[in-house]
Amino acid sequence: MKLKEQVAIVTGGGRGIGRAVALAFGREGARVALAARTVSELNEVAAFIRSQNGVALAIATDVRQEASVAALVERTLGEWGRVDILVTAAGVAAFGSVAESKLSDWDEMMAVNLRGVYLTCRAVLAPMIARRRGTIINVVSVAAKRAIPACSAYAASKHGVLGLTQVLAEEMRAHGVRVGALVPGAVDTTLWDQVPNPPDRGRMLRPQDVAEAAVLMASLPPGASLEELTLLPAGGIL
């Protein structure tokens, strides 16, 4: 087991990439705090991890809200005494050209994808710094690397997360805390359900592919930091 007895918080742990990361971390021996708003999905994932002899907690969380994120970290510390790993996989996407886009979509993507990642990272820093140990993995997107039409707000939020991740990595270097960006191309999750004419979902990455990359980033020896990992569908879409 690569993450034996480590304590992980996974936001967005109810479905998609976060769910796959949580399941993989559970299999590798980590105790996993699952954070998202839909409690039924969190409970399903936690129950599955427990059925495989893993340890998991479902903690209803809205990453847009400072108090909710603080409660998530406090509950995890209360249960298990530390946070070794944070994976920020909570995210939303809406697509459309700038000309046709809605301000409410822009605001929501900034609130979840950027403010949410900022709040969650910030909340785990003190306990990680105190132990001079920790790994933060922010789920970015290939949209932060390539200009993809019809996704300006999403791309802007992900560029923001990449910048935040890079600066935080520098700030945390002296504290023994690793900070990295996991940058996937298209992954077949429910995020694509609302997208008209999506690329061929059969050729996308699977959530478990991304989870394997997260396990790699989290399980490297403490002296090595994988600070950016780009994972694309081998077939070359997005």
Ligand X SMILES: NC(=O)c1ccc[n+]([C@@H]2O[C@H](COP(=O)([O-])OP(=O)(O)OC[C@H]3O[C@@H](n4cnc5c(N)ncnc54)[C@H](OP(=O)(O)O)[C@@H]3O)[C@@H](O)[C@H]2O)c1
Question: Is residue 165 near ligand X by the rule CB under 6 A?
Answer: no
Question: Is residue 194 near ligand X by the rule CB under 6 A?
Answer: no
118 carries an active-site annotation: no
Question: Is residue 115 near ligand X by the rule CB under 6 A?
Answer: no
CB 23 within 8 A of CB 211: yes
Question: Is residue 34 near ligand X by the rule CB under 6 A?
Answer: no
Using CB under 6 A, which of 32, 45, 59, 62 touches ligand X? 62
Nearer of residues 42 and 128 to ligand X, judged by Cβ: 42
Using CB under 6 A, which of 8, 9, 18, 95 touches ligand X? 18
Using CB under 6 A, which of 141, 152, 165, 219 touches ligand X? 141
Contacts (CB under 6 A) with ligand X, residues 39-58: 41
Nearer of residues 28 and 62 to ligand X, judged by Cβ: 62
Question: Is residue 93 near ligand X by the rule CB under 6 A?
Answer: yes
Q: Given the residues 25, 95, 118, 154, select the one marked as catalytic.
A: 154
Using CB under 6 A, which of 21, 112, 125, 162 touches ligand X? 112
Residue positions annotated with a catalytic role: 154
Site residues (vs ligand X, CB under 6 A): 11-12, 14-18, 36-38, 41, 61-64, 89-93, 112-113, 139, 141, 184, 186-187, 189-191
